[in-house]
Amino acid sequence: MPHAQGRPASDPTHPAPPAGERVRARLAGFVRALRDNGFATGLSESADALRLLAHPGLTDAATLRSALRALFASRHGDLARFDAVFDAYWFERNLKPAVRMADTRRLPSSAPGLPGANPAGTGSGPPQRVDRSPAAMDTATQGDGRQGGASADAVLTATDFRHLVDPAELARAYALAQRLAGAMRARLTRRHRAAHSGSRLDLRRTLHRSVARGGVPVDLVRRRRRDQPLKLVILLDTSGSMSPYISVFVRFMHGALDSFRQASAFVFHTRLIDVTDALREKDPQRAVDSLGLMAQGMGGGTRIGESLATFNRWHAARTLRGRTALLIVSDGYDTGAPDLLAREMAQVRRRCRRIVWLNPMIGWRDYSPEAAGMKAALPYVDLFAPAHSIESLEALEPYLARL
Amino acid sequence: MTHTSPSDPTADRAAIARRLADAGYVADRDLATALWLMDLLHRPLLLEGAAGVGKTAVAQALAIVHDTRLIRLQCYEGLDQNAALYEWNYQRQILALKAREASGDSPDVIEAQIFSPAYLLERPLLAAIRAERSVVLLIDEVDRADEEFEAFLLEILSDFQVTVPELGTLAARSIPRVILTSNGTREISDALRRRCLYHFVDFPAVDREAAILKARLPGIDTALALQVARFVQAVRREDLRKAPGVAETLDFAAALTGVGLADLRGDRELVHDLLATLLKTQEDRNALPREVVDRLLTQVA
């Protein structure tokens, strides 16, 4: 049997060709900067990058950028972020407010820059950490080249969720989210069993088993329907008018993500941010902390229509399908155009099974949905329910279980 | 492997781009770099982008460039090992069993016979690594497959060997060039993403799209190709649910040349009728009424 060729790229027994010590140090710093900015890169990527840097033919910075980007970036949102980190690290330029440098580590001042790149005669290593800043997140979620200016009226301070938290209430919200998930799961199990008893024969597998019985189909294999778990997508309004309710709903989102196999969570104010990964963190407090970091700009105005448009354009195809419930938590006070909101609601309506709009204001006496945004969205909503207290969330349980 | 010793990446990339162009694919600089890296680092390449921007075409062109076979694995929900890797040919096994029942051979002999490679059906993944010459393996729309399959794929892509319990381990005869495509139906795991090189296939710029038209439709007039490219670019800027991809542009241009129209401004009525090749939903048709199309046509001319 011919011998399989090894892959030198990640084979530890074939070390990367020798590169200068300083190049190694600079590269290590770059990889660290990438990791600090949320890139998931491993050792084999570093080894491959070293191979590239040591490649005799790679002389111009543009080619090297393009090559390293193909290696380190792994999704569309990474591309712009990679360029920002690359420029900041190797060229010390493009240091817009978006790319904030804050690190005390300094490399030896003799560390070389990129081959072919001599930015203003400086060879010293710049501080490396680039914040995962709002503008970078912006391009990551929207991808249409909009930079930080989009959130002109956003309050650019990190609101600390911890100070909004009442432990007992949060624990209740968390338990409730798990119970809701449980109610839906129970229903799915029943569906699955019913499908199993009414299933058809799987001929291929039956034949397969019969080989062991000398060709007599003794063991029948049945085909059963795939269970399609219900998906939950939550959009949480974190604008200023919602601030008293945010902490409870964040905990609710965390509980839902923890117990649903498939769930996604987004927060929006003047723009939309995917917080699914942050909330996947097992420890609730750490999840809330990292969300607080990501959701900078909370407490400003709301642009529901635009946020929903972003969702439709970049996330809907991935997160919504037939058996998906979309849960929007917002008071409907929109500073954007109501037409846009109506149009986007119509679009999202087609993609998912149910839209639930939870509005904390309903709990108030004499409330009627007068806000222009709320009025525009209402025709597309399946369930418009109050959400000012844990009790009102509990009232939702039978409805969600029926989806 | 013969493709492991590139000397000058700039020249190599230019050569790759040129050979791709000969194969009918007009690649941009980043894609040429990614393809060059694929050969240097032996990593799979993950292509993402909207539907119809030519992700699958990259693999087809790459197979032509390397004068090798393209093995395609179309992913779908519920894709399993039997469909992707290998399966025993049960019908033939049973026939062989029945035929030998009377022969009096010992069970061990019969077993060794029916579990031999002759009874093994190679599915795309196994076929790709058992090929004598390095092939191009296209794993299309990997996001449609289940997460479990993804984990299994990761294992194959790093080990390049397959263990069949009845036969033992089958090592790769050649390492395929692997291209994965994704439409974003489901988020792919970070592990798989990390394993791969990444390239985002965007809608082409006007001149590249015109070049694609020229490459794919040799009969097309250069001026018309440029007009069509500009027009489609303008259409994409409109607020559409599904922006037309390169495949749609090709259809549109083919339809135009088919009816013998040499200038988009020549017969606006006809252009409007042919929009059926670009806009595939009722909503998008309504979003581009006659006045808007006329305005776009005036702009691009």
Report pLDDT digits (tens) over A323-370.
788 888 888 887 778 888 888 888 888 777 788 888 877 766 566 667
- Both tokens of B216, joined, read 């794919």
Strand partners, A265: A234
Q: Are residue B227 and residue B193 in the same domain, yes or no?
A: no
Q: Does residue B111 lie within any of the structural domains?
A: no
Q: B176 and B287 share a domain? A: no
Greatest alpha-carbon span in chain B: 85
Q: Which residues of B touch A45 (CB under 8 A)?
A: 194
State the average pLDDT over residues A116-135: 40
Q: Which positions in chain A touch B11 (Cβ < 8 Å)?
A: 57
- Is the same domain home to B80 and B213? no
Instruction: Pick from B12, B30, B31, B33 the residue to mutate for testing the A interface (most A CBs within 10 Å).
Output: B33
Q: What is the per-residue DSSP string for A46-98?
A: HHHHHHHHT-TT---HHHHHHHHHHHH--SHHHHHHHHHHHIIIII-----TT
A350 touches chain B (CB under 8 A): no
What's chain B's average pLDDT? Answer: 86
Residues B130 and B188 both lie in one domain: yes
How many contacts does A have with B, using Cβ atoms within 8 A?
Answer: 118
Enclosing domain of residue B177 = 9-85+123-200
pLDDT band at A189; cut points 50, 70, 90: very low
In terms of Cα–Cα distance, which of B196, A328, A84 is closest to A320?
A328
Burial of A54 (0-12, 13-18, 19+ CB in 10 A): middle
pLDDT band (50, 70, 90) for residue A167: low
Mean pLDDT, chain A, integer = 68
* Residue B165 at interface with chain A, using a CB cutoff of 8 Å: no
Residues B131 and B67 in one domain: yes
Structure tokens at A209: 């088993």
A272-292 average pLDDT score: 75
A143–chain B Cβ distance below 8 A for any pair? no
The complex scores an ipTM of 0.78
The residue among B200, B232, B254 that closes a domain is B200
Q: Is the pLDDT of residue A39 over 90?
A: no
H helix or E strand, kind and range, residue B168: strand B168-171
For residues A373 and A140, give the distance between their C-alpha atoms in angstroms, rounded to a whole number: 26
Same domain, B70 and B16: yes
Spatial CA neighbour of B155 closest among B78, B84, B72: B84
Q: Domain of B76: which CATH number? A: 3.40.50.300
The verdict on B176 and B270 lying in the same domain is: no
pLDDT > 70? residue B301? no
Q: Is A218 exposed, middle or buried (0-12, 13-18, 19+ CB in 10 A)?
A: exposed
Q: pLDDT tens for residues B257-293?
A: 988 888 888 888 888 888 989 998 887 888 888 888 8
Confidence of residue B163 (pLDDT cuts 50, 70, 90): confident
A318 contacts B186? CB cut-off 8 A: yes
Q: Which residues contact B135 (CB under 8 A, 6 or more apart)?
A: B63, B68, B69, B70, B71, B128, B174, B176, B177
| % of chain A surpassing 70 pLDDT | 58
Which of B180, B200, B220 is the last residue in one of the domains?
B200
A327 DSSP β-pair partners: A234, A356
pLDDT for position A161: 37
Using one digit for the tens of pLDDT, what is the confidence trace for A284-311? 677 777 776 666 555 567 788 888 888 8
Q: Hey, is the C-beta of B115 within 8 angstroms of any chain A C-beta?
A: no
Smallest CA–CA distance, residue A367 to chain B, in Å, is: 36
Residue A317, pLDDT above cutoff 80: no
Residue A128 scores a pLDDT above 60: no
User: B132 and B49 in one domain?
Assistant: yes
Pick the last residue of a domain from B200, B216, B241. Answer: B200
My answer on whether B22 and B69 are in the same domain is: yes
Determine how many CB atoms are found less than 10 A away from the CB of residue B298: 10
Instruction: Decide which of B115 and A198 is more confident.
Output: B115
The per-residue pLDDT for A137 is 38
> How many whole angstroms separate alpha carbon A323 and alpha carbon A191?
13
Contact A5 B198 (CB under 8 A): no
Note whether B172 and B33 are same-domain residues.
Answer: yes
CB-CB contact of B252 with B227 (8 Å) = no
Q: Is the CB of B41 less than 8 angstroms away from the CB of A63? A: no
Q: How far apart are CA A228 and CA A192, in angstroms?
A: 9
- Chain A, 298 to 317: residues with Cβ < 8 Å from chain B are 317
How far apart are the CA of B70 and the nearest CA of chain A, in angstroms?
Answer: 20
Q: Can you give the pLDDT at residue A298?
A: 55
Chain B environment of A207 (Cβ under 8 Å): 90-91, 94
Which of A148-162, A293-307, B150-164, B260-274 has the lowest average pLDDT? A148-162
Instruction: Count Cβ atoms below 10 Å from residue B151 Cβ, excluding itself.
Output: 12
For residue A262, the distance in angstroms to the closest alpha carbon of chain B comes to 10
Is B173 in the same domain as B265?
A: no
Count of the separate structural domains present in chain B: 2
* Span B203-241, pLDDT tens digits: 999 999 999 999 888 888 899 999 999 999 999 988 787
B3 lies in some domain: no
The answer, as to whether pTM is greater than 0.90, is: no
Residues of A in contact with B161 (CB under 8 A): 4
Residue B250 has pLDDT above 60, yes or no: yes
CA distance B200 to chain A (A): 6
